[in-house]
Copies of this chain bind each other. A is one copy, B any other.
Amino acid sequence: MRNNTLGSLIWLRLMRFTNQSNQMSNDFLKRFDMTTAQFDVLMQIRIYQPLTQMELAEKVTVTQGGISRMLVRLEKEGYIVRKQDWKTKTISLTDKAESILKQAMPEQLAFQSSFFEDVLNEEEQKTLYTLMTRVHKYSQKRELPPE
């Protein structure tokens, strides 16, 4: 009874790495006074705005409830605005968020990238991306409710 099929070793590596790099990213983003989760959500809003909470929840792989709470925080901080629009609430960034992102985005993207660029060459990065894309896409397919 050992802890080591190849797959389970990969799983553990991925979990530990994302966990750790997430913490480092939180640390990095302190200079912009935001967290990794918040940055992620703001980025998605920036790309797709205006959009509804349901749509946003789906983009960041979070539940309805999760996105609701997150948006309350972001609204309180003055990063976003929501307005009731039919049954739906439509979300968009404030100028404050836009201007912070203009600064934070290139730095954060460079920070994220550095984890890979500093150790892997272009070729290896492409391989990693391709493999993870396949794995991810497959896991999404699986998620379909069993009939």
Contact = CB atoms under 8 A, between A and B. Distances in A.
Contacts of A9: 129
Interface stretch (A69-77, A80-88, A89-97, A114-122): A114-122
Given A13-B129, A131-B124, A7 B117 contact: yes
Given A102-B1, A131-B124, A132-B14, A8 B139 contact: no
Contact of A16 (B61, B117, B131): B61
Count the copies.
Answer: 2
Nearest to A59: B16
B18 A106 contact: no
Main secondary structure of the interface of A (DSSP, over half): helix
Interface residues of A, number: 57
18 contacts: A1-B102, A5-B113, A7-B113, A8-B112, A8-B113, A13-B132, A15-B40, A17-B132, A19-B61, A20-B139, A115-B135, A115-B138, A115-B139, A118-B138, A119-B134, A120-B131, A127-B131, A128-B131
Interface of A: 1, 3, 5-11, 13-24, 40, 43, 47, 61, 102, 105-106, 109-110, 112-120, 122, 124-129, 131-136, 138-140, 142-143
